[in-house]
Amino acid sequence: MAAPILRIENISKRYGKKDVLQGASLEVNKGDLKILIGPSGAGKSTLLQCINFLVKPDEGRIWLDEQEVHYAHKRDLYAYRQKVGMIFQDFNLFDHLNALENVRIGMVKVKGMGKAEAGERAVMELERVGLGDHMQKYPAQLSGGQKQRVSIARALAMDPKVMLLDEPTSALDPELVGEVHAVIRDLGNNGMTMIMATHQIGFASSLASEIIFMEDGRILERGTPDKIFNHAENARTREFCSKITELYGER
């Protein structure tokens, strides 16, 4: 068994008196799709944001490709973040740039690629997520699903080793969820390593290599989709899963 591509050990985060994360640990192998589920306030977002240090954890260590990330060293941190793509619930496209420029700017500014070369790559990534016809549009002219696909293309253009997806379809109209799921499914089939927080358990159970149930900043239970959704050991897990199945159905 190969060493995990990403290893997270004992990550804790406290805001004032509230423990948002209490010692979360995770090992992710290449090609894994780990799904984080749990009620809001469980710490899913915080965990994802801690993984690329958008939130600085109070404790804990992270290894990528068996190299520990020393996030206090700015240069290490910026290099690491390039390798860990992040997808946000509310897309966070750069409002002053069109789709093509959104995808290109990271390659130009961070990787120092030439504009032409980066432009070609951006076109390729946008075509890959099915937006070849919308490259000149600004974020305000795109639908939610299109915006999220641009943001996925933007992350992919940086050649990440791991992608973190923070409820990528939660802000979308139900009709638009499918197009984003198709892109994510495609990524998974191509071997992308992903950690995703979501409430779409139908989608999760069909793709996930492991489901992780979190509550109150802790990982309560983890296992295959079948185990978590059908034979969960923890009563809280069972309760949450039955509630969310009722809501998001289609399992």
Partner 1 sequence: MEEWLYIQTEVYPALLKGFWVSIELIFPSAICGLVVGIMVGVLRVYGSRPVMAAANAYVAIFRGIPLVVQLFIWYFGLPYIGIYMSPFTAAVLGFSLCSGAYHSEYIRGALLSIKRGQMLAAQSLGFHKVQMIFSIILPQAIRLALPGCGNEIIYLIKYSSLAYMITCIELTGQGKILASNSFRYTEIFLIIGACYLVMTSVASYILGRVEDRLRLPGFEHRRI
**x-or-dash pattern for partner 1, window 21-60, by CB under 8 A?**
----------------------------x--x-x------
Q: What is the DSSP string of 160-195?
A: -SEEEEESTTTTS-HHHHHHHHHHHHHHHHTT-EEE
Residue closest to 173 by CA, chosen among 146, 155, 153, 213: 146
Q: Are the C-beta atoms of 26 and 1 separated by less than 8 Å? A: no
Residue closest to 166 by CA, chosen among 75, 66, 85: 85
Per CB under 8 A, 200 contacts partner 1? no
Q: Using CB under 8 A, which of the segments 75-83, 169-177, 217-225, 241-249 binds partner 1?
A: 75-83
Per CB under 8 A, 155 contacts partner 1? yes
CA–CA distance, 86 with 55 (Å, rounded to integer):
13
End-to-end CA distance of the chain: 32
Q: State the minimum distance, in angstroms, from the CB of residue 113 to partner 1.
A: 13
Per CB under 8 A, 109 contacts partner 1? yes
Per CB under 8 A, 138 contacts partner 1? yes
Q: Nearer to partner 1 by C-beta: 48 or 244? A: 48
Q: Using the rule CB under 8 A, which residue among 25, 65, 110, 233 binds partner 1? A: 110
Per CB under 8 A, 67 contacts partner 1? no
Per CB under 8 A, 95 contacts partner 1? yes
Q: Using the rule CB under 8 A, which residue among 47, 50, 93, 192 binds partner 1? A: 93
**H-assigned helices in 129-163:** 144-156
Q: Using CB under 8 A, which of the segments 31-39, 148-156, 194-202, 219-227 binds partner 1?
A: 148-156
What are the phi and psi torsion angles at 173 (to 5°)?
A: -60, 145
Per CB under 8 A, 74 contacts partner 1? yes
Q: Using the rule CB under 8 A, which residue among 148, 151, 193, 198 binds partner 1? A: 151
3-state secondary structure of 201: helix
Which amino acid, residue 69? V
Q: Nearer to partner 1 by C-beta: 54 or 245? A: 54
CA angle 64, 68, 71 (to 5 degrees): 100
Q: Where are the beta strands (DSSP E) in the chain?
A: 6-15, 18-28, 33-37, 59-64, 67-68, 84-87, 162-166, 193-197, 210-215, 218-223
Task: Name the site residues for partner 1 (rule: CB under 8 A).
Answer: 49, 52, 54, 74, 78-79, 81-82, 84-86, 88, 90-96, 105-106, 109-110, 137-141, 151, 154-155, 158
